[in-house]
Structure 1
Amino acid sequence: MSDETVDRPNRFRAEAAAQGLPPEEVEEWIRTARPAVYLAEGGDGPLVARAGGDPLLPHGVPKPSDPFVASVDLAALPPGATGLPLPTDGHLLFFAGADVGGSEGRVPDAVMYVPAGTPTAPSPLDHAWRKPYRPRELRTVWHQLSAPMPESFALDRWGDLADDEQFELAEELGDAWAHVGGHRPGWALQIGGHPMSPQNDPVHYARDAGEAGDAAEGEGDDWLLLATWRYGDEVTELDSGVAHWVIRHRDLAARRFDRVHRYIEMA
């Protein structure tokens, strides 16, 4: 267990106690926090992810229908830091356009897993409506606990009948958590954890869609945030745009990336 998973909850308990927040809800907030890894540009560490440009695709695979976002070297992630049942090596590739609401929900080719040792080659995707995103190298990496958004916490804790006081308490818990978090540089890609969404919770969206389809697919288990990407300033059609990829725990463990749900939004 890293210092982050112990120190921040302890600092949060002290801050919450100073504000008179209910201990039971403080402990529930801590219980719902999940580990996450954050990747950013800069630094002189090993190359953890490559973003933009042309993807390296295996020979003969169908080309994804959306632009290439990023490729993550899974072996370069800190072991166990995401809390997700990811493969321990190979590359995970993410794809998304910049159309809010476009291809929303399940997108079979939004994520591709390329096992280690697979021959690959640069593969232009030839989207006439968009040039490739700006190439970036992500060499800065850190991991920390990720807490739910306050509104999501309230809905998960008290259901659709949560009242104004409960939503306000969730906001106070979120503020106390953020207050003891310390400074982190701006990140480009998040793996695991809870979503930080400018609009709505993509995990809730996927869960609701999954419940509607459970009769056909069988009962679902927990939905997880696989990744969130922050678009760069060059994507002018999105104001502080983000893309989220969400998947069921069992599908991730089985490497069924064709069952990923994707959501694109902006502030």
Structure 2
Amino acid sequence: MNALDEYRAAARKRGVPEDLLGRALRLARPRLELRSMEGSDAPVVGQYGGHPQLPPDVEWTGFPAFIASVDCAAVPVGELDIRLPEDGHLLFFANNSEPSYVPGPTQEGRVVYVPAGTATTERAPSEEDASYTFEPYPLRGRLDRFMPDNNHDIADQETVRLIHPYLLDHWDETMNGELTLGGYASVIHHDPAPWPVTDDDSFVMLAHADFTFVDTPLSCAASWLIRPRELAERNFENVRVDFQSYM
């Protein structure tokens, strides 16, 4: 049973009417949850925290912090609706010091794509930035489907409104991983990636992570955003990060 079949079966158990189920499934976007999953036999897809493996020409002192890396060859890219690279590694960096007070996507983070076969070395942060390093552990992947809610900026708001009563218990059972690839952004204050994209300058969500800031007790929902055409071109230079802080 694939992720879509699992979602369909779970929706039927929650009593979603058949005439609404088809509409809902068109909005249920695939995403890959990456989490520690200790004791699981799910495949290792990446690493959370620790020190990044970077090519010699990529400068990095330790900030923005290294959040996680993903082995694209271990990702079921054909199951997602965004065009991730089929090999190489994606490395995600973000400001984990304190909340950004700049509204909307910022440059307080980046994504580095390291093509397969590229020579890299492990980088340690500077003494000044060492406190922003998260403890490392492997990330295992689980593919699922996730529905938007009333807070998402979705073109088909009527289906979202109708499906909303059936999602309440589903949300309790669904958690973001330490990193998620694809799917919808988490909405705390605003939706950073309305769906579907409507023009070449619109952003789609590449990845999402939740973490606690180092210099403040606030937590953060960070979303790495990219234009679909630049993702297809393997151009990660213009990735933006959206930060939404919460208690």
Q: Give the shorter-chain TM-score range.
A: 0.7 to 0.9
Contact 1:108 1:258 in 2 (8 A): no
Q: Helix, strand or coil: the match of 1:75?
A: helix
Q: What is aligned with 1:66? A: 64
Q: What is aligned with 2:35? A: 40
Q: How far apart are the structure 1 equivalents of 2:205 and 2:165?
A: 22
Q: How far apart are the structure 1 equivalents of 2:23 and 2:17?
A: 14
Q: How far apart are the structure 2 equivalents of 1:244 and 1:38?
A: 14
Structure 2 segments unaligned to the other structure (5+ residues): none
Q: What is aligned with 2:177? A: 187
Say yes or no: does 1:249 pair with 2:245. Answer: no
> C-alpha offsets along residues 211-250 of structure 1, whole Å, 9 cap, x if unaligned?
9xxxxxxx51653210001115x73625332211011111
Q: How far apart are the structure 1 equivalents of 2:23 and 2:91?
A: 34
Q: What is aligned with 1:226? A: 206
Contact 1:230 1:240 in 2 (8 A): yes
Q: Which AA in structure 1 matches 2:50?
A: G
Contact 2:106 2:242 in 1 (8 A): no
Say yes or no: does 1:30 pair with 2:25. Answer: yes
- The verdict on how the C-alpha distance between 1:108 and 1:185 changes in structure 2, with shifts beyond 3 A counting, is closer
Q: Which moved more, 1:9-18 or 1:142-151?
A: 9-18
Contact 1:108 1:259 in 2 (8 A): no
- The verdict on how the C-alpha distance between 1:128 and 1:116 changes in structure 2, with shifts beyond 3 A counting, is same
- The verdict on how the C-alpha distance between 1:127 and 1:259 changes in structure 2, with shifts beyond 3 A counting, is farther
Q: What is aligned with 1:240? A: 219
C-alpha displacement of 1:37: 0.3
Q: How far apart are the structure 1 equivalents of 2:4 and 2:45?
A: 23
Q: What is aligned with 1:148? A: 148
Say yes or no: does 1:95 pair with 2:108. Answer: no
Structure with the higher fraction of residues in helix conformation: 1
Q: How far apart are the structure 1 equivalents of 2:22 and 2:30?
A: 16
Aligned length: 239
The RMSD of aligned alpha carbons is 3.3
Q: What is aligned with 1:78? A: 76
Q: How far apart are the structure 2 equivalents of 1:48 and 1:89?
A: 12
- Please list every run of at least 4 consecutive aligned residues from structure 1 whose deviation after the TM superposition is greater than 3 angstroms: 26-29, 43-47, 169-172, 177-186
Contact 2:81 2:182 in 1 (8 A): yes
Q: What is aligned with 1:161? A: none
Contact 1:37 1:81 in 2 (8 A): no
Q: What is aligned with 2:53? A: 56
C-alpha displacement of 1:61: 1.9
Q: How far apart are the structure 2 equivalents of 1:201 and 1:185?
A: 18
- The verdict on how the C-alpha distance between 1:69 and 1:61 changes in structure 2, with shifts beyond 3 A counting, is same
Q: Which AA in structure 2 matches 1:157?
A: D
> C-alpha offsets along residues 137-181 of structure 1, whole Å, 9 cap, x if unaligned?
23432111121232225x5235xxxxxxx6xx8466234135357
Contact 2:132 2:214 in 1 (8 A): no
* TM-score when normalising by structure 1: 0.75
Larger Rg: 1
Q: How far apart are the structure 1 equivalents of 2:25 and 2:240?
A: 27
Q: Helix, strand or coil: the match of 1:48?
A: strand
> C-alpha offsets along residues 177-234 of structure 1, whole Å, 9 cap, x if unaligned?
35357845662110001112322211149x7xxx9xxxxxxx51653210001115x7
Contact 1:149 1:196 in 2 (8 A): no
